[in-house]
Protein backbone atom coordinates (compact mmCIF):
# COMPACT_ATOMS: atom_id res chain seq x y z
CA UNK A 1 0.00 0.00 0.00
CA UNK A 2 1.32 3.42 -0.98
CA UNK A 3 0.35 6.62 0.83
CA UNK A 4 0.62 10.14 -0.56
CA UNK A 5 0.27 13.31 1.54
CA UNK A 6 -1.79 15.76 -0.53
CA UNK A 7 -1.28 19.52 -0.86
CA UNK A 8 -3.86 22.33 -1.13
CA UNK A 9 -6.96 20.10 -1.40
CA UNK A 10 -9.69 18.94 0.99
CA UNK A 11 -8.41 15.37 0.99
CA UNK A 12 -5.45 14.90 3.32
CA UNK A 13 -4.01 11.58 2.08
CA UNK A 14 -4.37 9.15 -0.79
CA UNK A 15 -3.80 5.41 -0.33
CA UNK A 16 -3.31 3.28 -3.43
CA UNK A 17 -1.96 0.02 -4.80
CA UNK A 18 -0.42 -0.58 -8.21
CA UNK A 19 0.22 -4.05 -9.67
CA UNK A 20 1.60 -4.67 -13.15
CA UNK A 21 1.30 -0.93 -13.88
CA UNK A 22 -2.46 -1.01 -13.14
CA UNK A 23 -4.14 0.97 -10.37
CA UNK A 24 -5.90 -1.66 -8.29
CA UNK A 25 -7.09 0.27 -5.27
CA UNK A 26 -7.50 3.94 -4.32
CA UNK A 27 -8.96 5.57 -1.21
CA UNK A 28 -8.86 9.18 -0.08
CA UNK A 29 -8.86 10.47 3.50
CA UNK A 30 -11.30 13.37 3.92
CA UNK A 31 -12.64 15.41 1.02
CA UNK A 32 -15.88 15.06 -0.98
CA UNK A 33 -16.81 11.48 -0.17
CA UNK A 34 -19.06 10.68 -3.13
CA UNK A 35 -16.84 12.29 -5.74
CA UNK A 36 -13.72 10.61 -4.40
CA UNK A 37 -15.43 7.21 -4.26
CA UNK A 38 -16.45 7.79 -7.89
CA UNK A 39 -12.89 8.63 -8.93
CA UNK A 40 -11.60 5.57 -7.08
CA UNK A 41 -14.10 3.32 -8.82
CA UNK A 42 -13.46 4.76 -12.28
CA UNK A 43 -9.68 4.51 -12.02
CA UNK A 44 -9.64 0.93 -10.71
CA UNK A 45 -7.87 -1.32 -13.23
CA UNK A 46 -6.61 1.63 -15.28
CA UNK A 47 -3.05 1.77 -16.57
CA UNK A 48 -0.97 4.16 -14.47
CA UNK A 49 0.14 6.21 -17.50
CA UNK A 50 -3.47 6.58 -18.69
CA UNK A 51 -4.59 7.62 -15.22
CA UNK A 52 -1.87 10.26 -15.02
CA UNK A 53 -2.70 11.69 -18.45
CA UNK A 54 -6.41 11.89 -17.63
CA UNK A 55 -6.10 13.36 -14.12
CA UNK A 56 -3.03 15.61 -14.31
CA UNK A 57 -3.66 19.37 -14.24
CA UNK A 58 -7.37 19.14 -13.29
CA UNK A 59 -8.12 22.16 -11.11
CA UNK A 60 -10.70 22.76 -8.39
CA UNK A 61 -12.27 26.22 -8.39
CA UNK A 62 -9.52 28.81 -8.18
CA UNK A 63 -6.95 26.27 -6.93
CA UNK A 64 -4.18 25.14 -9.28
CA UNK A 65 -4.71 21.52 -8.21
CA UNK A 66 -7.51 19.12 -7.24
CA UNK A 67 -7.94 15.69 -5.68
CA UNK A 68 -7.70 14.05 -9.13
CA UNK A 69 -4.54 16.06 -9.89
CA UNK A 70 -3.11 15.05 -6.52
CA UNK A 71 -3.77 11.41 -7.41
CA UNK A 72 -1.86 11.96 -10.66
CA UNK A 73 1.00 13.49 -8.65
CA UNK A 74 0.96 10.47 -6.30
CA UNK A 75 1.20 8.11 -9.28
CA UNK A 76 4.02 10.15 -10.82
CA UNK A 77 5.93 9.99 -7.54
CA UNK A 78 5.28 6.23 -7.37
CA UNK A 79 6.66 5.77 -10.90
CA UNK A 80 9.80 7.78 -10.09
CA UNK A 81 10.62 5.36 -7.24
CA UNK A 82 10.32 2.18 -9.33
In Å, the largest CA–CA distance within the chain is: 36
The span from the CA of 26 to the CA of 16, in Å, is 4
What's residue 49's pLDDT?
A: 98
Q: Per CATH, is 2-81 categorized as 3.40.50?
A: no
What is the number of other CB atoms lying within 10 angstroms of the CB of residue 79? 13
User: Residue ranges per domain, the chain?
Assistant: 2-81
Which band of pLDDT confidence, cut at 50, 70 and 90, is reported for residue 82? confident
As a whole number, mean pLDDT of residues 15-32 equals 97
The gap from C-alpha 43 to its chain's centroid, in whole angstroms, comes to 9
Mean pLDDT of the chain: 96
**pTM attached to this predicted model:** 0.95
Q: Which residues pair with residue 60 across a beta bridge?
A: 63
Backbone φ and ψ for 58, nearest 5 degrees, come out as: -75, 130
What's residue 42's pLDDT?
A: 97
Amino acid sequence: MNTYQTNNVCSSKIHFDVVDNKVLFVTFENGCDGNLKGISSLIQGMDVDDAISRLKKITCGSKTTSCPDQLAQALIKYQSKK
